[in-house]
Structure 1
């Protein structure tokens, strides 16, 4: 009897089977309450519901109010059992177990060995990617030819020059409190270079389990060389260490594959390597379904973006982002991620051909200095933790070096020089976001990396989710209800010393060139095409926003990744990044200078989380200030008398902003024409210490209200 014939007596089982068998199936099955579902006489799907009820009960879910327990079927064999079809809640993603004995069986799931990883499948993943994915997975970051200074030779059990021939594997892991072995002197490196040094009692006893297991896995997948920071960076040599840190992004991008140890830290090792590490003790929910079996998935779309302490580690961020291929040890299973596919050990090879792969870095690597994509990278990195706060810039310098090829002039303490004015106006991500001021640790200066300053004017000086440059009117996003254009009002300079000697000009070249980008009488730059905005060309029947001079047309570029929003307000030169395109990192100087205006205004709490109202001396609200945390909020009064507009604060102007916003029609409950245009000054709340100003928060004041305030000229020095 064919499997589908077994379910003719039960409509629910037919629909479940169709969800597994039909790639294009999309439907929902409402089972009612748990009581209703368990009253069925079907012996196949009822045990499935019963086990799910027990699962919900064990997690203290309120199952009594679940009157629409059901099964959702999505495209590409996605079957989900959920506590409520209408409101969601707890759920199980289900896989039908593949039966190799049945020709053309539609199952995609696998029952795994609870103790040991299937290394044969890991080798299959690697071979499949190398054989079929081609250039898309071969150096997607278009990294210049890079070899690390040192590599571990797995065959000869020693450290060798990175200039040896052959591909290498990299390791990304979380050190933990007991970091283990580190190369601190050139004398130690000399010992490591002797054949079989890593097997010697003097060294092997200090090698962490994760490092030892990574060496075993490198050999098991048919590779000879491994790069790991503990053995391949001489931490006592400041010059060599700084050089390798700047290359770290390129090193991970150049590795043929990176082993991601997301479970545990360096002392826990890679669990489940037979005859090498301890059993992983994996649990799978295996459920009967007639003569078939169903397993509950342990993975989902976000499996590689969180869930373990590894993803809180700041140093791991650029390592994870830059890898062209990854073998992930995550939640006791092994997974593969490359530029084309996401594969899981719990599924047969090729069953899940396309998981979520973040496209933002590929946008920048296509040559586009997209502030939205950059903002996402910075936000995701800055929420992570570092053992030493002063590592905030070194921890991302490798990635910034790589993306500098799209951002002309590179980055100064995390801010893109070509859009410096706009970048300086960064703020906390949400109104309620609390940022923490990073502070220097007490570790010796000889143990610190270069460029470990924590300037208050940069997000580098603050830990937490920030937004930087979001909404700048360049790439079109119809879902936004507003866009902005930054208008510089001063010239910025930078220096490594308070005296300003030597002084270097910071060039915001984007804003200098923007008017010429909008000159549509000129021939289009290479790769661009012009498209006319049609009357109904908008998202969800909402009007399209546009900055001055950009209505009527939009532009597309042939290099823009297909899966990303590919429309732009105006064309601009796009860098044709090749492996030969060099990165650029300017000197990281922590003092910035300008001549600007300042005003002493007043502020008080406004009832909106960390947002306070800025007032003139008459108590009229003329702007707002987005504080960095609730601790700052307590500095401001909640209620003010009519003749007391709050406490006085010093604000300095850093740029002017023109904001274009959709008009909300309350009666129609939608945005309509016309768009509104307002202008304001972006300001910083600062305090001075010994002649140097320090940023406390950023905000904005209406253009007219700022210009009629009692303004003073100020020579601003920020650190």
Structure 2
């Protein structure tokens, strides 16, 4: 009844007065046709809104009813609906409040005076453009929009000289939509044929929305769930009995369907004191996020929930390590992973479950059309969450087959084939009925996954050079994940490798050419257990230069002007040995990796704990001894730039050679610049050790003498042509820890 009263009031607010009807046939027009802004909850009778004079004179129905008649060419820069003059600023006017949120930030560099205009933009073409990050207005025949694609619009307030020809204008419009959401215009008669439509987000968790997403994935995406079998010694929470139960995994092909939880632990270490004892009732002090996740698990028709705090015995070191080794299986075989991307830690809970979501969703209702907000992008909220800053949660999300994210405003779902926001409904039936390739990237784009680690993705099936065993794509897969992970933080330095081990394990199992690691640095060397590829007998084997690949993997650098901190429990030459954002070279193909110098064959040896050394190519990564967890020192037989090759450098990030070359310095040592690096090299305390080349760039590790060995303190890059001068480089060996 309350809703009916409200709708009647809203519709009456769109009915023109007698004087307004006369104005259609004569002189001026003064018509109030806008509706109040309505919060999506609670929906109760509201008093008629107060409107300023400008908003009272807007006739949205008259101005918008002609929108579907436009062609794409006339819609590029939007259709002007009204000239607003200055920014809407009446705090008591409900429509002014909406228009203010639709205002694209002005450009201070614009010349002259420009008024503001309310414009309507075609929804589907803009969605296609955002997904492809390219201009779709230049007649590209790959993108042919159907008439049905030009029936829905979104509104924005832009300067009068706004144009899509300007990149700044396009980026500002995209920023507005990310921060405020789309305010979509649509006709009610199109309800059954629309690709995209706004959905009203309720104050509480709507399980039906999630069930629809899950059913769509199960029915149409067979590759999203491979069923790899149960993880050994798996324990789960029985949400009905609230006990931790053991899964009889020995010999079992699959675990019972279960949901996994990814969340941020609290600052207290009390969680480590709770052993995962089977058939033991959960304590009364269960964190709110776990309580809420149990409710969601049961609401979606599941019984079991996996939570690391209860399902991994934190006091059993061996058992804990075993579960960490199988973290990829735990998350990939979960039917769904709940991600708590709201609040600071486990005490906050899931929005909409134990607490109501408080976001405001603007709506203007009319008997012929509606204006509805899609809310700010959940992707933006996820990326800004504390959950997205934590190290452990990275692999938990990437390794999952299906992800359900709880943000403060709405739900977000992602699998290997599609992504969905609760406030923006996507008609997958309509997409199946009529294929629209230009929308594939938008529907399937992933925020939390990796194209290389998707269960349905197989590196072995990717076309490549006959001599390339997928190494280039594996190199990119590994380093892309490592780059994203390196931007996150951990509570304990010693967890740095464990929190990435699931990613490594997954990459070891894909493609025909396995990737192993030495303290987190990828080593692309077949093991004795790899039947498809013979063990290498030389530095270069079958077109793949194994040593050059490892040297390229050592050629990581820290991003400039980002905080860096040393993790002394790991080697300095490994990116794991540092907290800070790391970046790797981007090879174009397997032939991009080069030797340190023509005629000089570099070699890499591992210095073992007993004082002996072993060539990297002789290490059997598939054997019983896992050298990735033992040797902390590398012995590099390579070349280095002598101190006489350098000339004085000013402070900054560029060093100079006497042959005119300029080297870019990427320090890992706080306070390091080019002048300090030059003085260190001249004193003999520093050395520039040649690693290798990727495409046209050569990489040199900057190391510092530490008494008995060298320590990495930075990276230098230079065009490899400048290092080909005869006699420039000197052959040397370096023991680096």
TM over 0.5: yes
Residue aligning to 1:73: 122
For 1:55, the equivalent position in structure 2 comes to 101
1:3-56 per-position Cα deviation (integer Å, ceiling 9, x unaligned): 9xx99997741465679xx999964325399535999xxxxxxx9974444236
Contact 1:151–1:159 (CA under 8 A) maintained in structure 2:
yes
Contact map agreement 1:263 1:329 (CA 8 A) in 2: yes
Structure 2 residue 380 is the aligned partner of structure 1 residue 380 = no
Q: Where does residue 28 of structure 1 map in the other structure? A: 77
User: Superposition pairs for residues 471-550 of structure 1, below 5 Å?
Assistant: 471-474=587-590, 485=594, 489-497=601-609, 500-501=611-612, 503=614, 505-506=616-617
| Contact 2:391 2:488 (C-alpha < 8 Å) held by counterparts | yes
Separation (CA, whole Å) in 2 of partners of 1:472 and 1:102: 47
Quote how far apart the aligned CAs of 1:710 are: 7.1
Superposed counterparts of 1:148-167, under 5 Å = 149-163=234-248, 165-167=255-257
Q: Runs of 5+ in structure 2 lacking a partner?
A: 1-10, 15-32, 34-57, 125-148, 250-254, 432-442, 461-469, 525-548
Question: Which residue matches 2:140?
Answer: none
SS in 2 for 1:155: coil
Deviation track 1:637-693 (CA, whole Å, cap 9, x = no partner) reads: 6999xxx99876633434343745xxxxxxxxxxxxxxxxxxx75321111213111
Secondary structure of the residue that 1:684 maps to in structure 2? strand
> Is the contact between residue 494 and residue 505 of structure 1 (CA under 8 Å) also seen in structure 2?
yes
Q: Partners in 2 of 1:623 and 1:364 — Cα distance?
A: 41
CA contact (8 A) 2:668 2:713 kept: no
Q: Which structure's CA Rg is the greater one? A: 2
Matched, 1:426 2:556: yes
Q: Secondary structure at the match of 1:251?
A: helix
Q: Give the Cα–Cα distance (whole angstroms) in 2 for the partners of residues 693 and 15 of structure 1.
A: 73
Cα distance change on mapping 1:364 and 1:653 into 2, 3 Å: farther
Q: Please name the residue that 2:735 is paired with.
A: 717
Which residue is 2:215 aligned to?
A: 127
Structure 2 Cα separation of the partners of residues 335 and 374 of structure 1: 26
**C-alpha distance in structure 1 between counterparts of 2:372 and 2:199, whole Å:** 8
- Going by fraction, where is strand more abundant, 1 or 2? 1
Identify the residue that residue 266 of structure 2 maps to in structure 1: 176
Q: What is the TM-score of this pair, normalised by structure 1? A: 0.68
Report the equivalent of 2:531: none
Deviations 1:579-608 (A, max 9, x none): xx999975323221122333442365567x
Closer, same or farther: CA 651–60 of 1 in aligned 2, 3 Å: same
Aligned length: 569
The separation in 2 between residues aligned to 1:10 and 1:600, in whole angstroms, is 76
Q: Which of 281, 298, 301 pairs up with 2:358?
A: 281
* 1:691 equivalenced with 2:708 (yes/no): yes
- The correspondence for 2:686, drawn from 646, 650, 655, is 650
1:458 aligns to 2:476 (yes or no): no
Contact 1:153-1:159 at 8 Å conserved across structures: yes
Partner Cα distance (1:360, 1:627) in 2: 28
> Deviation string for 1:67-117 (max 9, x for gaps)?
56633324265635253543332534435488989873747112222x212
Aligned residues of 1:169 and 1:259 also touching (Cα < 8 A)? yes
Q: Is the 8 A contact 1:31 1:37 kept in 2?
A: no
Q: What's the counterpart of residue 459 of structure 2?
A: 366
Partner of residue 415, structure 1: 521
Q: Residue 502 and residue 150 in structure 1: after superposition, are their counterparts in 2 closer, same or farther (change >3 A)?
A: farther
1:225-374 correspondence runs (5 A): 225-264=304-343, 265-273=345-353, 277-288=354-365, 291-300=368-377, 302-303=379-380, 306-348=383-425, 350=427, 354-357=443-446, 359-362=451-454, 365-367=458-460, 368-369=470-471, 370=473, 371-374=475-478
Distance 1:600 1:109, change over 3 A: same
Partner of 2:675: 636
Instruction: Check whether the contact 1:493–1:505 (CA below 8 A) recurs between aligned residues.
Output: yes
Partner of 1:467: 583
User: In structure 1, what is the Cα distance between the partners aligned to 2:694 and 2:276?
Assistant: 57
3-state SS, counterpart of residue 235 of structure 1: coil
Q: What displacement does 1:364 show?
A: 6.8
How well do the aligned residues superpose, as a CA RMSD in angstroms? Answer: 4.3
CA distance in 2, matches of 1:215, 1:501: 53
**Aligned match of 2:158 in 78, 83, 87?**
83
Distance (whole Å) between structure 2 residues aligned to residue 23 and residue 129 of structure 1: 33
Give me the whole-angstrom Cα distance separating, in 2, the residues matched to 1:266 and 1:330. 14
Compared CA separation, residues 583 and 118, structure 1 to 2 (3 A): farther
Are residues 655 and 59 of structure 1, via their aligned partners in 2, closer, same or farther at CA, if it must alter by over 3 Å? closer
Partner of 2:224: 137
**3-state DSSP class of the match of 1:434?**
coil
Cα distance in 2 for partners of 1:506, 1:161 equals 42
Q: Give yes or no for contact 2:102–2:157 (8 Å, CA) kept in 1.
A: no
Contact 1:313–1:385 (CA under 8 A) maintained in structure 2: yes
* Structure 1 unmatched runs, 5+: 40-46, 441-452, 476-482, 510-580, 661-679
Secondary structure at 1:636 match in 2: helix
Paired residue secondary structure (2:241)? coil
* Aligned residue in 2 for 1:444: none
Q: CA deviation at 1:254?
A: 1.0
Q: 1:148–1:58: structure 2 CA closer, same or farther, 3 Å change rule? A: farther
Q: What CA distance in whole angstroms lies between the structure 1 residues aligned with 2:410 and 2:705?
A: 53
